[in-house]
Structure 1
Amino acid sequence: MAKILVLYHSTYGHLEVMAQAVAEGAAQVEGAQVDIKRVPETVPQELAEKSGYKLDQAAPIAVIDDLKNYDAIIIGAGTRFGSVASQMRAFLDQAGGLWFTGALLGKIGGAFTATATQHGGQETTFQGLHNFFMHHGMPVVGLPYAFQGQSRLDEITGGSPYGASTITGSDGSRMPSENELDGARFQGRHIAELATKLHG
């Protein structure tokens, strides 16, 4: 059995929905066990409440040592000025001990993200997350063009060969489209299939 972790941070709920879709896709693979966890919120409670953060998310809070217990780790984090949101960076920066012992070596890594606009830094955010995986010796798996939905031109859509993604709108009012969720499911299933072959 391959163990898959979908680990995310979601400020307003967009990446929570994407994480659920990634997990749904991974769970379709026979022999895959899938968990969804989120990283701690670092913004003070009062400010988060005033800013309209979605604070009622069901996923349990992860600790850094959880990562060593999985065969594949799929990370979802929003973009902040072309980089990974600080909450996820703060969590991943605790992985020095895992790096030192090689605890993540050979595990599969994948990522998904969200931006407010079509050209809001998705690819640079993926690059940052992929760098984390490569520093730990993890092979990186994106969203292949076998998912043809990322090539659509009839609607605004996220998705790239680097990973599933969504576009939220500058006011955060746009939730992931069905096409974007299909991309997330495809990536989750694809990674789980590979993890099952490697570690199952």
Structure 2
Amino acid sequence: MTLPQAEILVLYYSRYGATAAMAEVIARGIESVAGALAKVRTVPEVSPVCEAVEDAIPAQGPPYARIEDLISCDGLALGSPTHFGNMAAPLKYFIDQTSSVWFSGALAGKPAGVFTATSSMHGGHETTLLSMMLPLLHHGMLIVGIPARETALLKTKTGGTPYGPSHLSGEENPTLSAEEKALCLSFGQRLARAALALKGREV
């Protein structure tokens, strides 16, 4: 058994499960590439008054992310539901704590991409993805999107953007469509291949 050559952190927040479902498919895409390992992590809720008190390990789903998970990763897939055209507060809260990572330059030159779920067609999925890229660019990460050669991007009637995978959730679309799944898989594969190609190189 060969050890993985690149570990991709799939870091997300999900309130109702749609973003979590995307994270699972993206992780499968990552691990379909030889030499790549997906490390799936989430973040706890926050409250309007103070950080919500949570158990160290959530009752269900993946463990909570630590700053060390960011530092040690070879690539990053960052996911959030769309909240008024922007990432959700719990994920933003975690990202806002990464100043020490920025000072160290630990993420510079590593590939990253973003994904989101929204309950309405015009809920702001593209602006959410674009806004999620901004802190990654400040960290010096290299953004991975979805090229037009992905046929699912041209056929999708729900989610899917060049900026990263998206899912149109809601009562009419309770699960990922075939095209959304294909885009999540492809995105994970592209991110894994980029991480393998870039690992150990100065960019």
**If the TM-score is normalised by the length of the shorter chain, which range does it land in?**
0.7 to 0.9
The AA in structure 2 aligned to 1:160 is: T
AA paired with 1:111? V
Distance 2:106 2:178 in 1: 36
CA–CA distance in structure 1, aligned partners of residues 131 and 104 of structure 2: 22
Whether the aligned pair in 1 keeps the contact of 2:28 and 2:188 (CA below 8 Å) is yes
**Which of 71, 74, 85 does residue 82 from structure 1 map onto?**
85
After superposition, the CA RMSD in angstroms is 1.9
* Counterpart for residue 51 of structure 1: none
Contact 1:5 1:70 in 2 (8 A): yes
Q: Is the 8 A contact 1:113 1:125 kept in 2?
A: yes
1:130-151 deviation digits (Å, cap 9, x = unpaired): 1111100000001222221121
What is the DSSP-based 3-state SS (H/G/I as helix, E as strand, rest coil) of the residue aligned with 1:35? strand
SS at match of 2:143: coil
1:112 partner SS: strand
- Whether 1:166 aligns to 2:167 is yes
Distance 2:150 2:173 in 1: 26
Deviations 1:3-26 (A, max 9, x none): 111111110010111000000000
User: What displacement does 1:172 show?
Assistant: 8.5
2:179 alignment partner in structure 1:
179
Q: TM-score, normalised by structure 1?
A: 0.88
Alpha-carbon contact 1:77-1:84 (below 8 Å) kept: yes
Aligned length: 188
In 2: Cα distance, 1:137 partner to 1:63 partner: 20
- Unpaired segments of 5 or more residues in structure 1? 49-54
Report the AA paired with residue 78 of structure 2.
I
Residue matched to 2:123 = 120
Distance (Å, rounded) in 1 between the aligned partners of 2:172 and 2:17: 9
For 1:101-122, what per-residue CA distance to the aligned partner results, in whole angstroms no more than 9, with x for missing partners?
A: 1111111110000111112111
The alignment status of 1:33 with 2:34, answered yes or no, reads no
1:150-193 CA-to-partner distances (Å, cap 9, x unmatched) read 2116xx32011000010112x58622222211110110001101
User: Which of 139, 143, 148 is the matching residue for 1:145?
Assistant: 148
1:1-200 alignment runs, 5 A limit: 1-43=5-47, 57-152=60-155, 156-169=157-170, 174-199=174-199
Q: For the residues of structure 2 that align with 1:57 and 1:187, how far apart are their CA atoms?
A: 25
Mark the CA change 1:144 to 1:173 in structure 2 (over 3 Å): closer, same or farther.
Answer: closer
The amino acid of 1:74's aligned partner reads A
Give the letter aligned to residue 98 of structure 2: A
Counterpart secondary structure, 2:126: helix
The alignment partner of 2:190 has SS state of helix
Do 2:117 and 2:169's aligned partners in 1 also have CA atoms closer than 8 Å? yes
Distance 2:168 2:159 in 1: 6
In 2: Cα distance, 1:196 partner to 1:103 partner: 17
Flag structure 2 segments of 5+ consecutive residues without an equivalent.
53-57
Partner SS for 1:179:
helix
